[in-house]
Amino acid sequence: MSRKKTLKDRLVPVLLFAAVFAVEFFLRRYSFLQKEYFSLFLNTPDYWTELWNGPQPLLTLAGDFIAQFYRIVWVGPALVALAATLCFLLLRLFLRRIQIPLAVVIFAGLLVVALLPASREAERWARVEYATRTYQWHKVVAAATPDAAEKDAVLIPYALLAWSEMGKLPENLFRYPVTGPQDLDLEGEITRHGYYFAQMNAECLGCTNEAIHHAFQTACTTPHGMSLGSLRQLIKYNLASGNRAMAFKYCDILERNPMNAASARAARRYAASQPEQSRLDAGPSDSASVVTHNTFQTLREMAKEGLFNDAAADRVRCLLLLQRDLRNFSSTFPEGTDISALPLCYQQALCLVNDPDIQRAISPAVTEAFSQYMEAYNQIRTKEDDPIQPGTFWEYYFMYY
């Protein structure tokens, strides 16, 4: 009997630790990773002065110190599991006879918290932001689905950026509940999500100066006005722009964090091996004419500099479609383009262009579908009546004025 009791006493806390770890790892690990990205812990006079002059300095210090370890994906779940297990062991001193029900209650409580709508929403956002930062575009579109975008429109630009980077923007643009050009770049969105997206959008466009600018804006939304993740991004962007002096500066700051010291030193060694470049030679965004928050204007300026590719061309064309600017949209295709081989939404848009040559070149299947759409559209009475061709450019063009 004594041996059985001893085995149970040892096994229950182990099982509780494993169960809580599994819940936190599979349901909340991205929240921990993003917590580290937006937190700050530095062994610098400025950090300590700000800390001790702020409210609840000891609690803030403890939170900042622990959060830096969340960069390792299993640490956050393991710490929560450890805290739950220690709490169980403490309570067991007084409630030994009901230790199994006690463990079940602790586990169930943490599971309920992880499944709360607010927790699921935070985890979904963390997953989208993390996947965007690490270029895991399939994870972005898996989380930012059209159904999820119906509930939260701010997810739309993340999804469209992911499709753009995968070279499938035109095929997926109108699967989402887009209502205008702002859905492609979050222009004017002055939340942390907006700044963070603008930073990643600029990075993907190759505009390092704009990425630096938005990285600062993102950092300003964090409790300390700077974060470990923003420091890492600023080092990367300044290395990309050839600005070694600024890269060294941020390496010096980041090196004062224990978890990032080694990577900061490695970045400094890499920076030292690179030639110092003039800002004007670093890239398209270092020209004053390209420094703009408007994605469409940025793309136009990049095109003038000859810095363009198929993904950028699709982005311009999709912006024109969202603006319903069909005249300029049709002019983006060089003479001799095989229109029947273009993505479906492009052909759908060209059905509305009054040009006989273009009309003849559109796929017969698309032309027939357009005729059927217009015949049905002319019979409906209100926008709410439209059941026709959902997810097409025609639906967007006619129904979302």
* pLDDT (tens digit per residue) in 79-126: 999 999 999 999 888 877 778 888 899 999 999 999 999 999 899 989
What residues contact 160, with CB distance under 8 A and at least 6 apart? 169, 172, 173, 176, 183, 184, 318
pLDDT of residue 201: 85
pLDDT of residue 288: 39
**Which tokens hold the place of 198?**
């603008």
Mean per-residue pLDDT for 115-142?
Answer: 93
- Does residue 311 have a pLDDT over 60? yes
Handedness of CA 236, 242, 246, 249 (dihedral sign): positive
State whether residue 56 is helix, strand or coil: coil
Cβ(39)–Cβ(32) below 8 Å: no
State whether residue 127 is helix, strand or coil: helix
Which is more confidently placed, 367 or 97?
367
* pLDDT (tens digit per residue) in 208-221: 888 898 899 999 99
Percentage above 90 pLDDT, the chain: 46
Chain-centre distance of CA 76, in angstroms? 21
Burial of 178 per CB tally in 10 Å (0-12, 13-18, 19+) = buried
Rg (CA), the chain: 27
pLDDT of residue 302: 62
Mean pLDDT of the chain: 84
| Distance separating alpha carbons of residues 379 and 367, to the nearest angstrom | 19
Nearest to 202 by CA among 192, 181, 224, 187: 187
- Does residue 289 have a pLDDT over 50? no
Cβ count near 3 (within 10 Å): 7
Which amino acid appears at position 92 of this protein?
A: R
Percentage above 70 pLDDT, the chain: 85
pLDDT of residue 392: 85
Mean per-residue pLDDT for 331-348?
Answer: 88
The CATH T-level fold of domain 180-286 is 1.25.40
- Does residue 308 have a pLDDT over 90? no
pLDDT of residue 41: 95
pLDDT of residue 1: 47
Burial of 187 per CB tally in 10 Å (0-12, 13-18, 19+) = middle
Query: What are the C-alpha distances in Å from 378 to residues 295, 336, 348, 390?
Result: 36, 34, 17, 16
pLDDT of residue 258: 94
* pLDDT (tens digit per residue) in 156-197: 999 999 999 998 999 999 999 988 888 887 655 677 888 898
Find which of 115-119, 184-188, 326-330, 392-396 is predicted with most confidence, using mean pLDDT.
115-119
pLDDT of residue 166: 92
Query: What are the C-alpha distances in Å from 217 to residues 14, 127, 190, 194, 338?
Result: 44, 21, 9, 10, 43
pLDDT of residue 391: 78
Task: Check: pTM over 0.85? Answer yes or no.
Answer: no
Residue bearing tokens 């993340």: 158
- Does residue 296 have a pLDDT over 80? no
Which is more confidently placed, 92 or 70?
70
Find which of 75-84, 308-317, 374-383 is predicted with most confidence, using mean pLDDT.
75-84
Nearest to 232 by CA among 198, 194, 262: 262
Cβ(317)–Cβ(173) below 8 Å: no
pLDDT of residue 334: 82
| Distance separating alpha carbons of residues 174 and 243, to the nearest angstrom | 40
Our separate counts of H helices and E strands in the chain read: 23, 0
pLDDT of residue 281: 41
Mean per-residue pLDDT for 283-310?
Answer: 55
pLDDT of residue 3: 55
Domain boundaries, the chain: 2-115, 180-286, 338-401
**Which tokens hold the place of 50?**
């700000």
| Distance separating alpha carbons of residues 31 and 99, to the nearest angstrom | 30
Q: What is the DSSP string of 223-249?
A: TTS--HHHHHHHHHHHHHTT-HHHHHH
pLDDT of residue 279: 46
- Of 304-308, 346-350, 366-370, 396-400, the least confident: 304-308
- Does residue 332 have a pLDDT over 90? no
- Of 290-294, 306-310, 360-364, the least confident: 290-294
pLDDT of residue 241: 83
In angstroms, the first-to-last Cα distance of the chain is 77
